[in-house]
Amino acid sequence: MTDPIGLARGLTNYGDRDFALYLRRSFAKSMGYSAAMLAKPVIGIANTASGFNNCHRLVPELVDAVKRGVLAAGALPIDFPTISLGEVYLNPTSLMFRNLMALDTEEMIRAQPMDAVVLVGGCDKTVPAQLMGAASANVPAIQLVTGPMMTGPHRGERLGACTDCRRFWARFRAGEISRQEIDEVEGRLATTAGTCAVMGTASTMASLAEALGMMLPGTAAIPAVHADRLRAAEASGAAAVKLAQAKLTPDRIITQKSVENALRVLLAIGGSTNALLHLTAIAGRVGVDIPLKQLNALSDATPVLVDLKPTGPHYMEDLFAAGGIGAVLRELKPMLHLDCVTITGETLAQRLAESDGDYVDRKVVRPLDAPLQPQGGLVALFGSLAPRGALLKRSAADAKLFEREGRAVVFSSLEDLAKRIDDPALDVTPEDFLVLQNAGPTSASAMPEAGYLPIPGKLARAGIKDMVRISDARMSGTAYGTVVLHVTPDAASGGPLAKARSGDRIRMSVKERRLDLLVDPAELARREAPVAAAPPRGYARLYREQILQADHGCDFDFLRQAPLKG
């Protein structure tokens, strides 16, 4: 007997399969479908349009284009809503809801009758959530992204969200630009639909989806408003029909090898620190771990090739014009596992063979033998302050600050930081290490992008641009500076970070991959551990009970393929 297809899949349980199918078709006919259409394979389209998500403003026309592709290839497209996460609209932080969106996506793919699904996402947490959900549902799936914003002009330079948001805000804080100019900039940072225009988390995740093989070749970097974006959507719809016929499921595409390929790309593009969390969570859904020591080994052997903001001068629209992620993959070819299968059914070797000879702008994508930096953008540090690791985006940091010992200036929470950072009486010098506690995954603030601590007001006004900053928080992929993140275990779970006090000495050595709190263990033992807050209700309670630390991608334990506590 052949497997059921389309509407005959996953019937509602009435104890009578024929009745369930008859009833389903009958209700579907109320939407005006013919019997012939209802007999076709169904391609689901995860529709994440939301008034609270500017990055997804053009999702409706992408969904229309996907439908066109599906129909032309002989299947029935049906879109369905899922949660949408607009980065700047969520409290306390979008990361808290990534797993909720992953759960929603997984269950709606599994519960509804579809032979394959096109995942339309874009903003930071949406692509990882969709890939996590699709990996767990294990129905054939294609990722389609909304694409990056275009840049806009401001007084003779180009602006793009959101590295320039931070750059101008820092200049405003330092008194270098006026209130009038910052108000002008506010209206010029995000001038089109699409995701942030730099190599932030959204662009990094789009690039990794292509590197994993879960997205059509050449589609990660197409700008949101470019007509090619709609053609990519149409092609994704058509490809989903073939994918359904081939029954090529995510577990055959997201593998140990393709995850390693994606890690290489993450390092070579100088990608977002957040993306490591997300890739770890996606990989955990298919039983693949990413030890931070593996990251260091790959980072030592993978050069940075792409020169985009936040570290370089270019934007995603430049990467698109320069050759896109295909150009990066071709440079990395000697380091990649070329036998990985992609959603087209081709191997990576076949994909790259077809693309050979394409134009590459070498200002944006450097050749392997003349890289921007000889080593990868991310490095993990370990030591008495971070026994399970911490992360530094060295490509966005000041190497002069890498081998240092400094005095800690500790802020116990985000509230404490906000209250004291600009206090003229704050005892701080440019040589000190700013330390933020209780901003990790198990804290009430749910790991916000607060690791990019502002330079204290009085130092900023004196011209200080960078200091060593250490926390259990995350950092926006669009930010830069000598910022040590994801200290694990986090302070709220009782990690050593919780016991740091102002005046302690901390030693950082990027060369030795070390981060140590230079306090006598007996003294540390005397210091109090935090008291866990009472569990809240609802989703926040599920989050508190199930959230894993950064080294496990902040997934929920029960959603991993192999739960750690189970």
In the complex with ligand FES, the residue whose CB is nearer, 162 or 340, is: 162
Exposure letters 250-281 (e unless 16+ CB within 10 A, then b) = bebbbbebbbbbbbbbbbbbbbbbbbbbbbbb
| Residues found in the chain | 566
CB atoms under 10 Å from CB of 59, counted, come to 26
Is residue 220 a contact point for ligand FES (CB under 6 A)?
Answer: no
Which is nearest to 343 in space by CA: 204, 218, 201? 218
Sites for ligand FES among residues 150-189 (CB under 6 A):
161-162
In the complex with ligand FES, the residue whose CB is nearer, 200 or 448, is: 200
Q: Round to whole Å and give the CA distance between 316 and 221.
A: 6
Task: Find the binder of ligand FES among 73, 83, 87, 213 (CB under 6 A).
Answer: 87
CB 244 within 8 A of CB 41: yes
CB of 88 to ligand FES, least distance (A): 6
Query: Residue type at 19?
Result: F
Sites for ligand FES among residues 43-62 (CB under 6 A):
55
CB of 192 to ligand FES, least distance (A): 12
CB of 432 to ligand FES, least distance (A): 31
CB of 221 to ligand FES, least distance (A): 14
In the complex with ligand FES, the residue whose CB is nearer, 45 or 55, is: 55
CB of 162 to ligand FES, least distance (A): 6
> Is residue 191 helix, strand or coil?
coil
CB atoms under 10 Å from CB of 136, counted, come to 24
CB of 495 to ligand FES, least distance (A): 29
Is residue 123 a contact point for ligand FES (CB under 6 A)?
Answer: yes
Task: Find the binder of ligand FES among 119, 196, 446, 547 (CB under 6 A).
Answer: 196
In the complex with ligand FES, the residue whose CB is nearer, 147 or 456, is: 147
R_g of the chain, CA atoms, integer Å: 24
In the complex with ligand FES, the residue whose CB is nearer, 75 or 316, is: 316
Q: Round to whole Å and give the CA distance between 67 and 82.
A: 17
| Site stretch for ligand FES (CB under 6 A), options 29-37, 192-200, 221-229, 240-248 | 192-200
Task: Find the binder of ligand FES among 106, 124, 164, 234 (CB under 6 A).
Answer: 124
Sites for ligand FES among residues 236-275 (CB under 6 A):
none
In the complex with ligand FES, the residue whose CB is nearer, 194 or 217, is: 194
| Site stretch for ligand FES (CB under 6 A), options 17-25, 194-202, 459-467, 554-562 | 194-202
In the complex with ligand FES, the residue whose CB is nearer, 80 or 89, is: 89
Q: Round to whole Å and give the CA distance between 457 and 119.
A: 43
> Is residue 34 helix, strand or coil?
coil
> Is residue 131 helix, strand or coil?
helix
CB of 390 to ligand FES, least distance (A): 24
CB of 202 to ligand FES, least distance (A): 4
CB 310 within 8 A of CB 479: yes
Sites for ligand FES among residues 514-553 (CB under 6 A):
none
Task: Find the binder of ligand FES among 130, 136, 143, 195 (CB under 6 A).
Answer: 195
Distances (CA, A) of 159 to 2, 84, 153, 186, 312: 55, 26, 6, 10, 13
Is residue 449 a contact point for ligand FES (CB under 6 A)?
Answer: no
> Which two structure tokens, joined as six digits, stand for 514?
């070390």
| Site stretch for ligand FES (CB under 6 A), options 27-35, 196-204, 318-326, 454-462 | 196-204
Distances (CA, A) of 156 to 120, 152, 170, 184, 188: 35, 10, 19, 13, 12
Q: Round to whole Å and give the CA distance between 558 and 108.
A: 18
CB of 198 to ligand FES, least distance (A): 9
CB of 474 to ligand FES, least distance (A): 14
Which residues on neighbouring strands pair with residue 141, listed in sequence order?
117
In the complex with ligand FES, the residue whose CB is nearer, 56 or 351, is: 56
Q: Round to whole Å and give the CA distance between 433 and 468.
A: 5
Task: Find the binder of ligand FES among 5, 8, 20, 88 (CB under 6 A).
Answer: 88
In the complex with ligand FES, the residue whose CB is nearer, 132 or 295, is: 132
Q: How many CA atoms lie within 13 A of 17 on its CB side?
A: 5
Is residue 202 a contact point for ligand FES (CB under 6 A)?
Answer: yes
Q: Round to whole Å and give the CA distance between 431 and 409.
A: 10
Q: Do the strands 42-47 and 76-81 form a parallel or antiparallel pair, or are they unpaired?
A: parallel
Sites for ligand FES among residues 318-337 (CB under 6 A):
none
CB 547 within 8 A of CB 554: yes
Residue ranges in contact with ligand FES by CB under 6 A: 55, 87-88, 123-124, 161-162, 195-196, 200, 202
